[in-house]
A and B are shown apart, each in its own frame.
Chain A
Amino acid sequence: MTIDLQGLVQPDRVHKRVYTDPAIFELEMDRVFGQVWIYIGHESQVPKPGDYFTTRLGREPVMMVRHADGQVHVMFNRCPHKGAKLVPDGSGSAGKFLRCLYHGWTFKCDGSLLSVPLRSGYECTALDLKDPQYGVRKVARVATHRGFVFASLSADGPKLKEFLGGVATSLDNFCDRAPEGEVEVAGGVQRVIQRNNWKIFFENLHDTIHAVATHESSWRAAKEEHEAMPASTPKPFEVVIVDGNGEPLEFWEKLELKGYDHGHGFMEGIFVPPTDPVSLAYVASLEAAKGAKRAEEILRVNRHNTIVYPSCSPHTSFQQIRVIRPLSVDRTLVEIFSFRLKGAPEATFQRTLKYTNIVNSPSSNVMPDDLEAYNRVQEGLGSNGGDWVSMHRAAGRDQPLPGGRGSNGNSEMPSRNMFAAWAGYMGVDTGVKTNEHAGSAK
């Protein structure tokens, strides 16, 4: 079946079918998720040899496994004998070897075949046990950046560093914020199911002007909470991270948005670095480790959501990574991983968890209205009430940057930037040969 994609992406609007057509979703799995670097997990999730962590790479079930020599491999979670998933979904330790539950074929943790039962039965058959195809199949490419593991199903394409471009600095800052310069996943994984296309969530990550409208229930509740406290009570952290959504449009206008090739980008931080005892103790621990000057440089990089398109969104100042896994054209799984800054006081990590409990958890006091909005968009786009989705706001006003483009905080540049990359991957001619506003995805 051929699907005509031409004309679906224009520089400032996209056709609704990109969000609703199951055939386009399948093509995305091949042409986007089957090609680009996808975030798999962090090395700290498999601390010891034999440890595994499973996830999805596009539509493929894969596992990240640490081998005896310390190297981390990403392989298909599939036994080459009969096809059974070798390890159960989730994370744990496989022991010294990966042993299939079905017939006991056993593999080293780098995937190579170690032993099969009844070896003599394969003599003089077409099955050559020395043939690498009887080891566990590896994904085409694996690379890490500061402990963050990415994989690609395609042998071709840019190297990870080149792919990440300008958002590599967000991953760097994520780690630099640790007094020991390293982070580790800790404290469990929250998982949220969204009833919407995955791209709707990505666009929302840098959609600054939805906050004051969509989150009115949250910011009003937080403001009322603060108003009910005795006069001159400092705003508690719990209130700050919720009522910030009620900032007027002029506030967001002043924030910087950056978009980079391949659809990535980041948004300037919306929270002023706090001065409460927990924050001050953390800053002191960073200064003690790195010196005041370097600590100041690190903390000056104040960012809200970063987009690593199309698989994750790190939040550098509260140490979260949200991992986005498309399940179907109208269903998306978001997994929220919290990170401990090695060498920081325990209370810093407890604040990271407080942030995720209040903002990212399924029981978030902010997100339900987002999920409602995404779902109403998904349902509305399924109607015949119109064909196009607008991305016109501040079109034509982007400022070129090396490897990307910048805009003010209320621009829909991030959506245009992501769709420029998407169109490039999908082979859609946007009808624009050179247009800085449409991006320059390679």
Chain B
Amino acid sequence: MNFRDWNEQQDLTQFLHHEARLLDEHRWDEWQRLFTPDGLYWVPLVHGQTDHLNHASLFCEDALLRSMRARRLEQARAYSQQPPTRTVHVLGNIALESRDDVGCTVRSTFLLLEWRKTEQRTFGGSVLHTLRRAGDGWRIRTKRVDLLNCDAPHEALQVFM
């Protein structure tokens, strides 16, 4: 599906860029406020996973679990955040998948560099944002991150992707 026009493309692209920036700058509270109250942050464990309730995931977080993770990252004695995880997201291939009365679904691809302590990790994959219109802006109903290596053994994944 094509964007309606340049304005729509800009609007959604800027929203995705803003979201990624909040994560890279550890602005967890602002990031959480981007979600609808029933919003889901989901990183499937296997390729093509269709179910987050009857299959394990890498992340499967509602508002409560997102908030708990954010609070943990900020604790003075979060030893695994000494030093903290640093990230940079690079987004691309932003495309409109579908549009309806309440919102739209946007697909993008990303590269994520993550640095902590001794090693820089590289993640990549695609993201499906299911967005709801909220006034002039957008809210995230579902952020689904499909990692290229979701099915690999991983070391700790501490920050939101």
Contacts and interface: CB of A to CB of B under 8 A. Distances in A.
A187 B54 CA distance: 6
Nearest to B156: A368
A236 to B, nearest CB: 7
A363 B68 contact: no
Interface in A219-248: 220-222, 224-225, 228, 236, 238-239, 242
B98 interface: no
Interface residues of B, number: 33
B56 A218 contact: no
Given A362-B155, A365-B68, 19 more contacts: A187-B56, A190-B45, A190-B58, A192-B154, A192-B155, A217-B75, A220-B77, A221-B69, A224-B71, A238-B68, A349-B54, A357-B59, A361-B56, A361-B57, A361-B58, A362-B156, A367-B156, A371-B155, A371-B156
Nearest to A243: B68
B113 interface: no
Nearest to A357: B60
A60 B95 CA distance: 47
Interface residues on A, range: 35 or more
B79 A357 contact: no
B68 A191 contact: no
A217 B65 contact: no
Nearest to A364: B156
A242 B55 CA distance: 21
B54 A346 contact: yes
A367 B72 CA distance: 12
A44 to B, nearest CB: 16
Interface string B70-89: 01100101111110000000
Contacts of B106: none
Instruction: Enumerate the 6 nearest inter-chain pairs by beta-carbon distance, A residue then B residue, closest first.
Output: A217-B78, A368-B80, A191-B153, A221-B71, A217-B75, A362-B154
Given A217-B77, A350-B54, A358 B65 contact: yes
Contacts of B154: 191-193, 362
B68 to A, nearest CB: 5
Nearest to B77: A216
Greatest chain B CB density within 10 A among A186, A195, A217 is at: A217
Contacts of A189: 56
A336 B154 CA distance: 12
Given A214-B79, A217-B77, A221-B68, A363 B55 contact: no
A221 B64 contact: no
B41 to A, nearest CB: 10
A189 B57 CA distance: 9
Contacts of A372: 79-80, 82
Interface in A323-366: 333, 336, 338, 346, 349-350, 353-354, 356-358, 361-365
A191 B46 CA distance: 12
Contacts of A357: 56-57, 59-60
Given A221-B68, A349-B54, A367-B156, A373 B60 contact: no
Contacts of A180: none
B90 to A, nearest CB: 21
A338 B55 CA distance: 9
A188 interface: yes
Contacts of B79: 214, 217, 369, 372-373
Interface string B35-58: 000000001011001000111111
Contacts of A186: 54
B67 interface: yes
A338 B56 contact: yes
A216 B75 contact: yes
Nearest to B46: A188
Contacts of A217: 72, 75, 77-81
A221 B81 CA distance: 14
A364 B65 CA distance: 11
27 contacts: A188-B56, A190-B56, A193-B153, A193-B154, A195-B155, A214-B79, A216-B77, A217-B77, A217-B78, A220-B71, A220-B77, A221-B72, A236-B64, A349-B54, A350-B53, A350-B54, A353-B55, A357-B56, A362-B155, A362-B156, A363-B58, A363-B158, A368-B80, A369-B78, A369-B80, A371-B80, A372-B80
